Structure 1
Amino acid sequence: MYRKEEQSQVLSENFELPFEGKLSEDNRWVIMASLIPWLEFEDEYASIFSEEVGAPAKSFRMALGALIIKEKLGISDRETVEQIKENPYLQYFIGMSSYSQDTPFDASMLVHFRQRIGVELVNKINQTMVKKMLEDSSTNKKKELNEPTNRGKLILDATCAPSDISYPTDLGLLNQARKHTEKIIDFLYEQVKNQLDKKPRTYRKLARKNYLKVAKKRRPFQKERRKAVKKQLQYIKRNISHIKQLVYIGANLSKLSIRQYKILLVISEIYRQQLWLYENKKKSIDNRIVSLNQPHVRPILRGKAGKTVEFGAKLSASYFDGYIFLDRISWNNFNESTDLKIQIESFKKYTGYYPESVHIDKIYRTQKNRAWCKERGIRISGPPLGRPPANISKEKKKQAAHDEKIRSSIEGKFGQGKRRFSLNCVMTKLSHTSKTAIAITFLVMNLSTYISRLLRAFLCLFFRNLPFSRPGIKNYYSFFGFNKQKLIFSPSLNN
């Protein structure tokens, strides 16, 4: 059940603090709270709840605000709850009307928040929020009659958000599957042990010994690795037959936990894939499972130095005016060049006009994409298809270098998401919660961009009002107390 509250409309000056006082309007959390359209999407969030049945759910502002706080600070779910408990600005950000020393919710609620707030909803909030930021900025000029029909620069690229899994190997994956089958056999045997003379043999000690014999080697030979894989496949085959026998005798699979039952299904698919790879002497198969606990994760081929393959979700993103948007996310590998038309049409729907130029890498520059962009007056960065000309003018070289500098800005955004935020290692385990966490990262990056621009504008205004100017640079050193010739600090210069 969802109840709409007036807490999402509370103002910073009305937030009740102990020992009186008020929240600072210049605080980053107060500024970010004013940018996010909480009320606009509250009805869409409330539609997933029943109007009468169930306990009252947490508000939309509290759910989304907690996820933003977690991503912005780069902390765990439990630490997020503790930070909210200690900080009045964070309590105001999630919609509370007064400071409280009690925890507003349990740390496990963040999992439910990620399940309820999907990728589509986060992307809508991100687009609406950025449009508000662009309207508030002074760089957003009014449309004039003599302006061209195509305006702006659109940058497109794709990347991978690796999941938190160990590097997968066929032998290690089969060893994990074997150990889980042994636990399931132990559980099912307890149900029918009165009907059997002895417990089914699993040879677990011998199986582990055979695994470690090869796993501990730094560079085992291919024949040794292949022989070890064969043995693990035989152990898993025997264990699966034991499970079928126990079920036939009377063991009830429904008494397994949901996690155990899912893992049993994943193990059967892993056995099928690995057996096919072994028999056909292949190294790849469609929809290959690389993690027992996260079977949705797929290997993503990347042409990066040091990392030819990454294991996680593949993202297709667009970037313009300093803000980045998540256009497509999938656990399967896809060709990002097919998204160019959709991304450009989304740009037109969002801004009302086509971009003047599209800055992309080589994989996007197909004949179909070039012809489609040429019909709409859009210039594609990069050299034309075919053999390069013998003589290239200086203007074209300068234009190509300038286009590459523009295109590298989206790589910087990906670097920010992976170094500063959690895009480099997605810690969530479920498929849909991982997608929501990735979408939240893009939203938080846009919020950080706006906050940094406000700080830059403040610094420009501050230095503009200082008692020195560019021609009078001598006053610069005396103002901060430095000796220009010796470049040492001298407090007496300010006296």
Structure 2
Amino acid sequence: MYQKRENQLLLPHEFFLPFTGKLNEENRWVKLAQFIPWDLVEKHYAQLFKPKSKGGQMAVSVRVALGSLVIQERLGSSDRDTVENITENPYLQYFIGLPGFQQSPPFDASLMTHFRKRLGADVLNQVNEWIIMAAKADEESDDDDHTHSDDGGQDTSTQTEQPKVEPDVPRQGKLLLDATCAPADIAYPTDLSLLNGAREKLEQLIDVLHAPHAGRERKPRTYRQKARRAYLVIAKQRRTSKQKIRRAIGQQLRYVMRDLKAIEHLATRTPLTKLSRQQYKNLLVIQELFRQQKMMHDTRSHRIDDRIVSISQPHVRPIVRGKAKANVEFGAKVAVSMVDGYARIDHVQWDTFNEGQLLQESVEAYRERYGCYPEAVLADKLYRNRANLQYCRDRGIRLSGPRLGRPAKAEEAAHKQVERQDSAERNAIEGKFGETKRRYGLDRIRARLAETSLTVISLRMLVMNLERWLRVLFAFCLQLLGSLFLCSSFAAFSV
């Protein structure tokens, strides 16, 4: 059950403090609370619960749920630390919508997982869209106000016509496109370590299934100590040959196959319902892992479709990026578009995909948002296929990068200059990826489930855009104060 609140936004002076004083209206958390459209988010959030008339336990407010997730990602804290920070800080309690300061925790730390499940990636991407459009409108209004103040109240800027949608769609702005990987928090997977982990989990399942028959029947032999020693002989070596690794993998495959047959035999007498939900899931994953590893071992190959690289997170896939730091990353692949410094997630999935095929979809989404096509699309060479080149040419959009074929000598110098300028501007999205990974933790997604991992990815993009809006607002305030200081100094000098 969920009950809507009449007013999601509480003014700072209305927040109750048990001690004297009041909240600072210029505090960053107070400013951030004004950026998020809480009422719009609540409409989506309330649909996830039963109506109030049908009863049920009262759910936590959407401002508490989303605000707590924003606090967690902005501070980089765990679930328990997030609740403790909120309990100790009155500004954080104001941010999540509490009417006054309280010394008891507003909710249990275990609810953070439910918040990530309920506020999925789709809802957070929509919230991110609302924030970007509001930030864009706020920056444009600030620029208009600044223009009025500089000209003594007279607007001398040229009036731009409203963009036409059809048939002549104008072109304005630049769209930056690129893709990156959001690595999951898993150990670096090798075939030998995966098989050793699978064998150890199978041995635990054998112990559980044999427990009802202990003392009456002999437990199936697993040779766990011998298999462990065989694994450590190779794992402890700093350098080893490919032949030894292949021989060790084949040996572990035989141990895993023996354990799977033992479990199949025990299942005829002991139902698999004796296993926990996680143990049964591990059994299904290990069966698929064994099939993949055996096929690669038999065919002497290192590639297979939907390759499993983690037993606890079977949805994680290897993403070949070709970067200097790591040629292969393990996580979700994220296609991002950026306009005026604000990033959006266009597409995200665990399996690898060709981001060049998403260019036309991103351009059409740009037109739907802003009512015009971009003047230029800045992307790497992967986006420059013939279909995209023809698509951009038909719409008068310049796609960055070298032209196909040999350019004319008269146009070569000018084209290279434009290409260098586009490459310099396209570095902004690469820097945005670095900012998101270093500052906001996109380089390691610690969520365990597939859906909550996508929620964390979307949430970190949202928090990064909120931070940019806050920086832009702060820069505008400094610029406005500087202009007022210059005007007052000039007036004093004139007198």
TM-score, length basis structure 2: 0.91
For residues 89 and 325 of structure 2, the distance between their equivalents in structure 1, rounded to whole angstroms, comes to 42
For structure 2, list consecutive stretches of 5 or more residues without a partner in the other structure.
145-156, 164-168, 491-495
SS in 2 for 1:26: coil
**Within-5 A mapping of 1:190-205:** 190-196=211-217, 198-205=218-225
**8 Å contact from structure 2 (residues 376, 399) kept in 1:** yes
State which of 416, 425, 434 in structure 1 corresponds to 2:453: 434
**8 Å contact from structure 2 (residues 356, 382) kept in 1:** yes
**8 Å contact from structure 2 (residues 208, 274) kept in 1:** no
Give, in angstroms, the shift of residue 275 of structure 1: 0.5
Deviation track 1:310-345 (CA, whole Å, cap 9, x = no partner) reads 000000000011111011100000000010011111
Aligned to 2:192: 171
Aligned to 1:346: 365
For residues 319 and 340 of structure 1, the distance between their equivalents in structure 2, rounded to whole angstroms, comes to 13
SS in 2 for 1:303: coil
Aligned to 2:49: 49
For residues 142 and 79 of structure 1, the distance between their equivalents in structure 2, rounded to whole angstroms, comes to 52
State which of 443, 450, 453 in structure 2 corresponds to 1:424: 443
Aligned to 1:493: none
**8 Å contact from structure 1 (residues 7, 96) kept in 2:** no
State which of 255, 262, 282 in structure 2 corresponds to 1:235: 255
For structure 1, list consecutive stretches of 5 or more residues without a partner in the other structure.
472-495
**Within-5 A mapping of 1:216-365:** 216-249=236-269, 251-365=270-384
Code of the residue aligned with 1:209 in structure 2: it is R
SS in 2 for 1:180: helix
Matched-pair identity in %: 46
Give, in angstroms, the shift of residue 169 of structure 1: 0.1
For residues 228 and 440 of structure 1, the distance between their equivalents in structure 2, rounded to whole angstroms, comes to 42
Aligned to 2:414: 395
**8 Å contact from structure 2 (residues 94, 100) kept in 1:** yes
Q: 1:414–1:470: structure 2 CA closer, same or farther, 3 Å change rule? A: farther
For residues 485 and 255 of structure 2, the distance between their equivalents in structure 1, rounded to whole angstroms, comes to 77
Is the aligned partner of 1:413 residue 2:429?
no
Give, in angstroms, the shift of residue 9 of structure 1: 3.2
Code of the residue aligned with 1:33 in structure 2: it is A
Code of the residue aligned with 1:67 in structure 2: it is L
For residues 117 and 222 of structure 1, the distance between their equivalents in structure 2, rounded to whole angstroms, comes to 47
For residues 252 and 398 of structure 1, the distance between their equivalents in structure 2, rounded to whole angstroms, comes to 71
Aligned to 1:180: 201
**8 Å contact from structure 1 (residues 192, 246) kept in 2:** no
Aligned to 1:492: none
**8 Å contact from structure 1 (residues 7, 97) kept in 2:** no
Aligned to 1:150: 171
Code of the residue aligned with 1:164 in structure 2: it is D
Code of the residue aligned with 2:180 in structure 1: it is T
Deviation track 1:186-224 (CA, whole Å, cap 9, x = no partner) reads 11111222541x211111000000000011111211111
Give, in angstroms, the shift of residue 436 of structure 1: 0.3
**8 Å contact from structure 1 (residues 63, 113) kept in 2:** yes
Aligned to 2:166: none
Q: 1:129–1:199: structure 2 CA closer, same or farther, 3 Å change rule? A: same
Q: 1:85–1:6: structure 2 CA closer, same or farther, 3 Å change rule? A: farther
The number of residues matched between the two structures is 469
Q: Which runs of 4+ in 1 moved over 3 A?
A: 139-143, 387-394, 461-471
Code of the residue aligned with 1:306 in structure 2: it is K
After superposition, the CA RMSD in angstroms is 2.0
**8 Å contact from structure 1 (residues 23, 89) kept in 2:** yes
Q: 1:281–1:470: structure 2 CA closer, same or farther, 3 Å change rule? A: farther
**Within-5 A mapping of 1:447-466:** 447-464=466-483
Code of the residue aligned with 1:57 in structure 2: it is A
Deviation track 1:142-188 (CA, whole Å, cap 9, x = no partner) reads 97228781100110000000010111000000000000000111111
